[in-house]
């Protein structure tokens, strides 16, 4: 029976390289959006933040999580960014030195919505009652 190396193990944790490359790609995309280099009428009324970019293990896919400030119009922003992903990918390729430029995918970041939902649950009477009993 062949022995498995640590390289063969599938890990849920991203590697240091994935994190580093994801952060570099995030900075470039955020700068493009701040400077207004992505010319799309759908994006003109929004200030978009890029909280996170997750890289696939082979660094061929970059999933960028975006959120317009205020939270309104997330679908419009994601659709506009996905329409312009070839242009954005070209700009990222000029800034980030990689052997293969990853394919970009944009998704709405619902982390803040989830935090609000959990906060509302924590403030309910039943949870407060349980906390008081402890």
| Rounded Cα distance, 33 and 109, in Å | 16
Quick one: pLDDT band at residue 7, thresholds 50, 70, 90? low
104 Cβ neighbours under 8 A, 6+ residues apart = 29, 62, 64, 85, 88, 89, 92
Provide the H-helix boundaries in the chain. 16-35, 74-83, 85-95, 111-122, 125-133
**Best CA proximity match to 37, nearest among 77, 91, 89, 73:** 91
Question: Which domains are assigned to the chain?
Answer: 16-109 (3.30.300.20)
Confidence at residue 72, expressed as pLDDT on a 0 to 100 scale: 78
pTM here is 0.76
Token couple for 32: 């493009």
- Averaged confidence pLDDT in the chain: 84
* Percent of the chain predicted with pLDDT > 70: 91
């Amino acid at each position: 029976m062949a022995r498995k190396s640590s390289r063969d193990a599938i890990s849920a944790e991203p590697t240091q390289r994935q994190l580093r490359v994801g952060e570099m790609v995030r900075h470039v995309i955020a700068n493009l959006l701040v400077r207004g280099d992505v010319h799309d009428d759908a994006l003109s009324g929004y200030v978009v933040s890029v909280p996170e970019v997750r890289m696939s293990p082979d660094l061929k896919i970059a999933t960028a999580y975006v959120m317009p400030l205020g939270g309104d119009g997330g679908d419009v922003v994601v659709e506009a960014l996905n329409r312009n992903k070839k242009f954005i990918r070209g700009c990222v390729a000029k800034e980030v030195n990689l052997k293969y430029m990853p394919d970009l995918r944009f998704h709405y970041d619902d982390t803040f919505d989830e935090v609000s939902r959990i906060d509302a649950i924590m403030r309910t009477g039943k949870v407060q009652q349980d906390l008081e009993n402890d």
